[in-house]
Structure 1
Amino acid sequence: MQVLKQVPLFAELNEEDLIALQDITLKHTYHKKEYVFMEGEEREAVFFIHSGTIKTFKVDPEGKEQIINFLQAGDMFPHVGFFEETPYPATSEVMSEAVLFMIRIDDFNQFMLNHPEIAMKVMKILGQKISVLTQRIQEMNSQNVQHRVVYALIRLGQESGQLDKEEIYIDMPITNQDVANIVGSSRETINRVLNHLKKLDLIQVSRKGIYIKDINQLKEHVR
């Protein structure tokens, strides 16, 4: 029961409410490369991440992947479809072994009706996601791929990075192809951009994540 309190959305629930929540919650472990759900499937549940990393993405008519989000511990997904019957809007894939809490959408809707404070928090989360998506649209309008890459790294660092003064470590196994799928470019172009940023000593890249040495210097690079 206390594990559910580690999800920010439920952190302030009392013991009685946590028991009610536990009664409608299932816990499941997903392995790397496993799909939680596919775009277009009937929407059955909402998920909360206890541990691990999830990637959500859509596939365009040409078969190209467009990454929407990287999600980590404490995050909820998907972010649409409450109080209405809609299919899953995107595909979710496990990037590193993940433990998820799953609540059937009808049960979660009823829980929100019984706990308006949770509904208000969900609305706040949805508002934040809309702001992020608006920002991404503005970033994608840049014709300069290097600018789009830098904007994406800064956003990932601010959303999911571990901050130490001006240094940020993005602790995710993000590949160059993932970065390409975020900014709408080719892997070859991203290879050149990231190598350029590494030569400028602005970032370091490993299989485990991306290290931004000074986020202010990185921001200055695209001004």
Structure 2
Amino acid sequence: MTQNMNQLLKQIPLFSKLEDRDLSILSTITTKRLYHKKEIVFMEGEEREAVYFIAKGVIKTSKSDFNGKEHIINFLQAGEMFPHVGFFEETPYPATAEALEETELYIIRIQDFDQLMLDHPNIAVQVMKIMGQKLSLLTERIRELSTKDVRHRVIATLIRLGEESGTNGIDQPVSITIPLTNTNLANMVGSTRESINRVLNELKKNDLLTVSRSSIEIVSLSALKSSLYRK
């Protein structure tokens, strides 16, 4: 069982370079749990108890405003960790995490993870890089929300999702693999379903997207990028 867990943990990018001895130690502080579709992993504001790593599935992280409206922060997939903030601090979970499909998570208590980073500075460095990347992403999204129109925000979001979760190359069809609804997309870009529908219909009419109930396919990432500043 330990050897099997070692191999599973080694598939997580953050742990991929650990030696077997260190992986064996890691496996002793790691638990595995399956979350069903729409099951909540934790709620925004709850006491932070653990760090989570996605073995398979998709996690949606979101925050609610004073009116109870959901604002989606990100979609996370296999190999990613969350939450990305608050290490070495006694702060609550900064957002709500929900499984969008059957999702398998590896869970490490926050005290054990803090000690792991102290014992393995290379892991701490990688965590800092991940946090820096997420901060840059959030900064760019805030800039887009405050300065760009809905069309630009939708296209920029589709490009990012295509690059993060899509398959195939930049000049080939790219399937966005997360279960993305128009409501989710609206909550990501700060708009309404009606506005999202108009933008998606325009992109479909211009042969930049094909959309079904279960997926969005970008016909060409390069062509979609070229359309970003074209009305």
Could you tell me the TM-score, scaled by structure 1's length? 0.97
Q: Given the alignment, which residue of 53, 57, 63 partners 1:52?
A: 57
Say if 2:74 is the partner of 1:69.
yes
Q: 1:65 Cα deviation (Å)?
A: 0.7
Structure 1 gaps of 5+ residues are: none
Mapping of 1:88-107 within 5 angstroms? 88-107=93-112
**Contact persistence 1:39–1:87 (CA under 8 A):** yes
Say if 2:191 is the partner of 1:185.
yes
Q: 1:209 Cα deviation (Å)?
A: 2.2
Gap change, CA 1:143 and 1:127, over 3 Å in 2: closer
**Contact persistence 1:172–1:210 (CA under 8 A):** no
Q: Distance in 1 between matches of 2:62 and 2:170?
A: 32
- Other-structure match for 1:216: 222
Q: Distance in 1 between matches of 2:117 and 2:100?
A: 30
Equivalent pairs: percent with the same residue? 60
Instruction: Look up the SS of the partner of 1:182 in the other structure.
Output: helix
Q: Distance in 1 between matches of 2:110 and 2:212?
A: 38
- Other-structure match for 1:40: 45
Q: Number of paired residues?
A: 223
Could you tell me the TM-score, scaled by structure 2's length? 0.94
Q: 1:141 Cα deviation (Å)?
A: 2.3
Q: 1:79 Cα deviation (Å)?
A: 0.2
Structure 2 gaps of 5+ residues are: 1-5
**Contact persistence 2:170–2:222 (CA under 8 A):** no
Q: Given the alignment, which residue of 137, 143, 147 partners 1:142?
A: 147
Instruction: Look up the SS of the partner of 1:163 in the other structure.
Output: coil
Say if 2:18 is the partner of 1:13.
yes
Q: Given the alignment, which residue of 31, 37, 42 partners 2:36?
A: 31
Q: 1:143 Cα deviation (Å)?
A: 4.2
Gap change, CA 1:143 and 1:113, over 3 Å in 2: closer
Instruction: Look up the SS of the partner of 2:102 in the other structure.
Output: strand
- Other-structure match for 1:3: 8
